[in-house]
Structure 1
Amino acid sequence: MITKWAIILPFIVAFIIPMIRSKLKKTHIGWIALIVPIVLFIALLRFIPQVAAGKVYEHTWQWIPSLDLSFTTYLDGLSMLFALLITGMGALVILYSIFYLSQKEALHKFYCYLLIFMTAMLGVVFSDHFIMLYFFWELTSVSSFLLIAFWHHRKASRRGAQKSMLITVSGGVAMLIGFLMIAHMTGSYSIREAIQIMPTELTNTLFIPAMVLVLLGAFTKSAQFPFHIWLPDAMEAPTPVSAYLHSATMVKAGIYLVARLTPLFAINQSWFWTVTIVGLMTMFWGSFNAVKQTDLKALLAFSTISQLGIIMSLLGMGSLVYVFGYSPATVIYTQAGFAALFHLLNHATFKGALFMMVGIVDHEVGSRDIRRLGGLMSIMPFTFTIAMIGSLSMAGIPFFNGFLSKEMFFEAALRIQQADLYSSTAMLSIIPVIVWVGSVFTFIYCTILIVKTFFGSKDKLPRDRKIHEAPKGMLISPFILVTLVVIMFFVPNFFARYLFSPAMLSLYPNTGTMEQLTPHIAAWHGFNTPLLMTIAVVIIGVILFKLLPKWRGIYNTLPERFTLNVLYDRGQNEVENVGRFMTNLYMTGSIRHYIIYIYLFFIVVVGGYFIKSDSFAFDMTKNAPIEWYEISLMAVMIIAAILILRAKSRLTAVVLNGVLGFGVSIFFVLFRAPDLALTQLVVESVTTVLFLLCFTYLPEWKKEDTPKYTKLINMAIALSAGVLVVILSFAVLHYDEFKTISGFFENAYELAGGANIVNTILGDFRAFDTMLEVVVLLTAGIGVYTLIKLKPRKERKKNEDQ
Structure 2
Amino acid sequence: MTFIHFAIILPLIAAFLIAIINKYVKGIHLGWFVLPIPFIIVSYLFTLIPTIRNGETLLLNLNFMPRIGMNFDVYIDGLGLLFAILISGIGTLVVLYSIGYLSNKEKLLNFYIYLLMFMTAMLGVVLLDNVLMLYLFWELTSISSFLLIAFWTTKERSTYGAQKSMIITMFGGFMMLGGFILLSNLTGTFSIREMIIASDSVVGVGAGTLAVVLVLLGAFTKSAQFPFYVWLPDAMEAPTPVSAYLHSATMVKAGLYLVARFTPVFMLSTTWVWTILIVGLITLCWASFNAFIKDDLKAVLAFSTVSQLGLIMSLLGISGLAIVRGANEQIFTVAVVAAVFHIINHATFKGALFMVTGIIDHQTGTRSIKKLGGLMTIMPITFTMTLITSLSMAGIPPFNGFLSKEMFLEAMFEISNSNFSSLASVGFLFPLLAILGSIFTLLYSVKIVMQVFLGEDKKETPKQPKEASALLLISPAILSFLVVLFGLVPNLLTKSIIDPAAMSIINAVEPLNTKISHWHGFDSPALWATVVIILVGATLYYFRDTWIFIYKYIRSNYTINYLYDQGLNYSTIYSNRFTKMVMTGFLRTYMVYIFGFLVVLGLITIIKTGLNLDLSNLAPIGIQDMILVGVILTALLIIMITKSRMVSIIMLGAVGFSMALFFVFFRAPDLALTQLAIETVTTTLFLVCFYHLPKQSKLPEHRKFKLTNFVVAVGVGAVSILIGLSAFSNRLFESISQYHVDHVYDLAAGKNMVNVILVDFRGYDTVFETLVFGIAGIGIYILMRLSINRKDDKNEERAEESRL
Q: TM-score higher than 0.5 here?
A: yes
Provide the residue aligned with 1:283 in structure 2: 284
Provide the residue aligned with 1:388 in structure 2: 387
Distance 1:422 1:119, change over 3 A: same
Q: Report the AA paired with residue 537 of structure 2.
A: G
Kept after mapping to 2: 8 A contact 1:130/1:191: yes
CA deviations over 1:760-785 (Å, ceiling 9, x no partner): 99899999x99x999x999999x999
Kept after mapping to 1: 8 A contact 2:247/2:350: no
Provide the residue aligned with 1:2 in structure 2: 3
**CA distance, structure 1, for counterparts of residue 173 and residue 738 of structure 2:** 38
Q: Normalising by structure 2, what TM-score?
A: 0.88
Provide the residue aligned with 2:585 in structure 1: 589
How many positions carry a matched residue from both structures? 774
Provide the residue aligned with 1:618 in structure 2: 613
Kept after mapping to 1: 8 A contact 2:325/2:420: no
SS in 2 for 1:213: helix
Provide the residue aligned with 1:725 in structure 2: 720
CA deviations over 1:688-731 (Å, ceiling 9, x no partner): 66656656654445573254533676455434432332233223
Provide the residue aligned with 2:477 in structure 1: 479
Distance 1:111 1:634, change over 3 A: farther
Provide the residue aligned with 1:547 in structure 2: 543
Distance 1:650 1:429, change over 3 A: same
Structure 1 position 264 matched with structure 2 position 265: yes
**CA distance, structure 1, for counterparts of residue 71 and residue 284 of structure 2:** 38
Structure 1 residue 65: Cα displacement: 2.8
Task: Report 1:406-555 matches (<5 A).
Answer: 406-462=405-461, 465-509=463-507, 511-514=508-511, 517-527=512-522, 528-555=524-551
Structure 1 residue 618: Cα displacement: 3.0
Provide the residue aligned with 2:176 in structure 1: 175
Kept after mapping to 2: 8 A contact 1:220/1:228: yes
Distance 1:693 1:779, change over 3 A: closer
Provide the residue aligned with 1:131 in structure 2: 132
Q: Report the AA paired with residue 73 of structure 1.
A: V
Task: Report 1:759-770 matches (<5 A).
Answer: none
Structure 1 position 75 matched with structure 2 position 67: no
Structure 1 residue 468: Cα displacement: 1.3
* Larger Cα-atom Rg: 2
Q: Report the AA paired with residue 513 of structure 1.
A: E
CA deviations over 1:412-469 (Å, ceiling 9, x no partner): 111112433223123222211111111111111000001111111112432x522211
Distance 1:675 1:192, change over 3 A: farther
Q: Normalising by structure 1, what TM-score?
A: 0.88
Structure 1 residue 581: Cα displacement: 3.0
Provide the residue aligned with 1:305 in structure 2: 306
SS in 1 for 2:61: strand
Q: Report the AA paired with residue 363 of structure 1.
A: H
CA deviations over 1:450-503 (Å, ceiling 9, x no partner): 1111111112432x5222111211111111111111111122212111111211
- For structure 2, the 5+ residue unaligned runs are 749-755, 795-804
Kept after mapping to 2: 8 A contact 1:441/1:541: yes
Distance 1:672 1:235, change over 3 A: farther
Structure 1 residue 683: Cα displacement: 6.6
- For structure 1, the 5+ residue unaligned runs are 796-802
**CA distance, structure 1, for counterparts of residue 298 and residue 672 of structure 2:** 68
Structure 1 position 355 matched with structure 2 position 350: no
Q: Report the AA paired with residue 592 of structure 2.
A: I
Provide the residue aligned with 1:710 in structure 2: 705
SS in 1 for 2:717: helix
Structure 1 residue 600: Cα displacement: 3.4
Structure 1 residue 125: Cα displacement: 0.6
Kept after mapping to 1: 8 A contact 2:319/2:335: yes
**CA distance, structure 2, for counterparts of residue 773 and residue 346 of structure 1:** 58
> Please, which moves more after superposition, 522-531 or 303-312?
522-531
Provide the residue aligned with 1:798 in structure 2: none
**CA distance, structure 2, for counterparts of residue 396 and residue 716 of structure 1:** 72
Structure 1 position 247 matched with structure 2 position 248: yes
Structure 1 residue 324: Cα displacement: 4.7
Q: Report the AA paired with residue 112 of structure 2.
A: Y
> Please, which moves more after superposition, 635-644 or 404-413?
635-644
Structure 1 position 36 matched with structure 2 position 37: yes
Structure 1 residue 652: Cα displacement: 6.3
> Please, which moves more after superposition, 102-111 or 115-124?
102-111
CA deviations over 1:186-245 (Å, ceiling 9, x no partner): 111111101111124422221211111111110110001111111111111111111111
Distance 1:741 1:385, change over 3 A: farther
Structure 1 residue 269: Cα displacement: 2.3
**CA distance, structure 2, for counterparts of residue 244 and residue 760 of structure 1:** 58
**CA distance, structure 2, for counterparts of residue 380 and residue 134 of structure 1:** 44
Kept after mapping to 2: 8 A contact 1:644/1:657: yes
Kept after mapping to 2: 8 A contact 1:504/1:518: no
Kept after mapping to 2: 8 A contact 1:14/1:111: yes
**CA distance, structure 2, for counterparts of residue 496 and residue 761 of structure 1:** 67
Structure 1 residue 628: Cα displacement: 6.2
Q: Report the AA paired with residue 18 of structure 2.
A: I
Q: Report the AA paired with residue 59 of structure 1.
A: L
Kept after mapping to 2: 8 A contact 1:374/1:461: no
Structure 1 residue 135: Cα displacement: 1.1
Q: Report the AA paired with residue 195 of structure 2.
A: A
Task: Report 1:557-596 matches (<5 A).
Answer: 557-596=553-592
Kept after mapping to 2: 8 A contact 1:339/1:409: yes
> Please, which moves more after superposition, 756-765 or 639-648?
756-765
> Please, which moves more after superposition, 1-10 or 300-309?
1-10
**CA distance, structure 2, for counterparts of residue 84 and residue 672 of structure 1:** 73
CA deviations over 1:238-280 (Å, ceiling 9, x no partner): 1111111123210000000000000111112222211111111
Q: Report the AA paired with residue 371 of structure 1.
A: K
**CA distance, structure 2, for counterparts of residue 112 and residue 473 of structure 1:** 21
Q: Report the AA paired with residue 577 of structure 1.
A: I
> Please, which moves more after superposition, 638-647 or 74-83?
638-647
Distance 1:485 1:652, change over 3 A: same
**CA distance, structure 2, for counterparts of residue 761 and residue 186 of structure 1:** 44
Distance 1:496 1:467, change over 3 A: same
Distance 1:682 1:457, change over 3 A: farther
**CA distance, structure 1, for counterparts of residue 635 and residue 421 of structure 2:** 81
> Please, which moves more after superposition, 56-65 or 242-251?
56-65
**CA distance, structure 1, for counterparts of residue 284 and residue 310 of structure 2:** 4
Distance 1:721 1:429, change over 3 A: same
Kept after mapping to 1: 8 A contact 2:186/2:201: no
Provide the residue aligned with 1:799 in structure 2: none
Give me the identity figure in percent: 46
> Please, which moves more after superposition, 227-236 or 598-607?
598-607
Kept after mapping to 2: 8 A contact 1:279/1:312: yes
Q: Report the AA paired with residue 529 of structure 2.
A: M
**CA distance, structure 1, for counterparts of residue 246 and residue 738 of structure 2:** 50
Distance 1:3 1:655, change over 3 A: farther
**CA distance, structure 1, for counterparts of residue 318 and residue 764 of structure 2:** 53
Kept after mapping to 2: 8 A contact 1:263/1:322: no
Q: Report the AA paired with residue 55 of structure 1.
A: E
Structure 1 position 602 matched with structure 2 position 598: yes
Q: Report the AA paired with residue 386 of structure 1.
A: M
Task: Report 1:132-211 matches (<5 A).
Answer: 132-211=133-212
Distance 1:330 1:679, change over 3 A: farther
**CA distance, structure 1, for counterparts of residue 308 and residue 738 of structure 2:** 59
SS in 2 for 1:63: coil
Provide the residue aligned with 2:799 in structure 1: none
> Please, which moves more after superposition, 209-218 or 676-685?
676-685
Q: Report the AA paired with residue 726 of structure 1.
A: I
**CA distance, structure 2, for counterparts of residue 384 and residue 521 of structure 1:** 29
